[in-house]
Amino acid sequence: MSRTTKYTDMGWPEHDALWRYDLLSEPLLSSELRRLAGAASYDNTDSVTFQPCPNPEESNQDRYAVLNWTLSNGTWQFRVVLDGHAGHDTVEHTLRTLPVIIRAALEGLVLENEESSVEAVSRILSDAISSLDDNLTNDLLDLFPDVDAVSKLSDDEIRRTINDQESGGKKSSIVMRCMRGTTVLASLVDPTRSNIWVASLGDCQAALGTRQADGRWETSVLSSYHNGANARERERVMSEHPGELECVIDGRVLGAIAVTRAIGDHLFKLPSAYTKRVFLNATPGFSITKKIEDFIGRNITPPYVSNCADVRHAKLGKEGSYLVMCSDGLLDLYENTGMDIEALADFWIHLLVRREKPWNDSNLALYLLRDALGGEDVERVSRMITVEMPFRWMDDTTIVVQKL
């Protein structure tokens, strides 16, 4: 077991800089990765959530939850992965609130009908996500009901209203939850373990591998890819804003945000006056105000970012299944392989089934993360987890693997 100091340009020679990293030998490398990734196991589920940048300002904005709910008809299994962006406010609020909303609705459905229909459970998931976001909108509109209400106030009056941290911060919290955003990937398994639902809002991904009676594994993607790089989503946004040539630029909504569906991100859901007068007067503000100012003029007929989730249902086989849920950081780590999401889903499932790699770890999520970071390439993995850079060299990456 050893640690050797080395230097790297991380493949970015244009920065004209070298950064220090530690070359770790086994078993130190595996144990350090496990620690940094917060590897955890609960019931039938393994998880990791990983952002190795040592700068506190670059801390991980992903969140996840592994919950089992015992209702009158048995135990339902709920798992969720949230990919927060622009700050922690919206993703933290969603983590606290969304499971509560879904469980309450599910309890009501079960009381009405022990045999819950596929459609009814799907509606619970989609309605919970959209209603959570609608509540964020309504809370803000309680403060500023319309554009006229905003325009009648001076900047000082708006600042005094929304920057109320010294008196409890209730109004500040309302504004921050609208300024920041998060994607949602939520799964639900019924008490018989024969049905699974996956709701997706944004670009996190879910892959289901189901073992067939003949021993083969069948893989399917149970999530949508709500991102401007997706031609179907790009065309949807453009069709909702006819004649607005800049509603999507270079795969980004209004040239600014990659995801086309999310909770929060009300800069893309409300008239531009709210951004100019409310959001830009909030403290703390945006990390780069210039980017905000660049796209305000393109905001003509909001909303541009949707809060409508897609929900897919699948039957679970009796031979066993794996569900892999991940934030888009995992996809980014494979971007040079040329694999699309269907190919990646199949690759991940078969990687778990075979378990042939020498870093064979009991935590299946950690096993997938190790492969994505470099696998058997000890130097690459060491560099990825220990390099001392002040800014991110990889996206937040969260993986949840459920054995069904």
The per-residue DSSP string of 243-278 comes to T-TTSEETTEETTTBSBSB-EE-GGGTS-HHIIIII
Identify the band that residue 112 occupies on the pLDDT scale cut at 50, 70 and 90.
confident
Of 128, 118, 131, 114, which Cα lies nearest the Cα of 80? 128
* Domains and their CATH numbers in the chain: 3-143+180-226+261-265+305-403 (3.60.40.10)
Kindly state the percentage of the chain with pLDDT values over 70. Answer: 99
Kindly state the percentage of the chain with pLDDT values over 90. Answer: 90
Identify the band that residue 318 occupies on the pLDDT scale cut at 50, 70 and 90.
confident
Q: pLDDT at position 247, please?
A: 97
- Counting every residue written for the chain, the total comes to 404
Q: What is the mean pLDDT of residues 85-91?
A: 97
Give the pairing of strands 74-85 and 62-71.
antiparallel
Report pLDDT digits (tens) over 74-85: 999 999 999 999
Q: pLDDT at position 188, please?
A: 98
Q: pLDDT at position 291, please?
A: 82
What sign for the dihedral angle of Cα 188, 189, 190, 194? Answer: positive
**Contact in structure between 187 and 205 (CB atoms under 8 Å):** no
Q: What is the mean pLDDT of residues 178-203?
A: 97
Q: pLDDT at position 276, please?
A: 95
Q: Which long-range contacts (CB under 8 A, 24 or more apart) does 371-376 make?
A: 372/330, 372/333, 372/334, 372/397, 373/33, 373/333
| CA separation for the pair 203, 329 (Å, rounded) | 10
| CA separation for the pair 350, 218 (Å, rounded) | 10
Q: pLDDT at position 361, please?
A: 74
Q: Where are the alpha helices (DSSP H) in 70-163?
A: 89-112, 118-143, 147-151, 155-162
* Higher per-residue confidence, 367 vs 3: 367
Q: What is the mean pLDDT of residues 351-360?
A: 85
pLDDT of residue 382 exceeding 70: yes
Enter the DSSP assignment of 276. I
CA-to-CA separations, 182 to 143, 254, 263, 327, 382, in angstroms, rounded: 22, 18, 5, 11, 30
Q: pLDDT at position 20, please?
A: 96
Q: pLDDT at position 356, please?
A: 81
**First-to-final CA distance of the chain:** 37
pLDDT of residue 288 exceeding 80: no
Enter the DSSP assignment of 269. T
Q: What is the mean pLDDT of residues 360-375?
A: 93
pLDDT of residue 359 exceeding 80: no
**Contact in structure between 323 and 187 (CB atoms under 8 Å):** yes
Q: What is the mean pLDDT of residues 140-154?
A: 94
* Tokens of residue 4, six digits: 């050797």
| Amino acid in the structure at residue 295 | F
Q: What is the mean pLDDT of residues 232-259?
A: 97
**Contact in structure between 198 and 312 (CB atoms under 8 Å):** yes
**Contact in structure between 84 and 180 (CB atoms under 8 Å):** yes
Residue 96 neighbours by CB under 8 Å, 6+ apart: none
| CA separation for the pair 35, 52 (Å, rounded) | 11
Strand partners, 187: 79, 198
Identify the band that residue 114 occupies on the pLDDT scale cut at 50, 70 and 90.
low
Q: What is the DSSP string of 22-36?
A: EEE-TTHHHHHHHHH
Q: What is the mean pLDDT of residues 123-148?
A: 97
Q: pLDDT at position 15, please?
A: 79
Q: What is the DSSP string of 284-320?
A: S--S-HHHHHHHHTT-SS---SB---EEEEEEPPTT-
Q: pLDDT at position 206, please?
A: 98
Longest dimension (CA), the chain: 71
Cα angle 372, 374, 380 (rounded to 5 degrees) comes to 140
Q: What is the mean pLDDT of residues 248-275?
A: 97
CA-to-CA separations, 280 to 275, 284, 288, 289, 290, in angstroms, rounded: 6, 9, 11, 8, 11
Q: What is the mean pLDDT of residues 172-193?
A: 97
Q: Mean pLDDT of all residues in the chain?
A: 95
pLDDT of residue 154 exceeding 80: yes
Q: pLDDT at position 280, please?
A: 95
How many separate helices (H) and strands (E) can be counted in the chain? Answer: 13, 16
pLDDT of residue 391 exceeding 80: yes
Q: pLDDT at position 297, please?
A: 94
Q: pLDDT at position 355, please?
A: 87
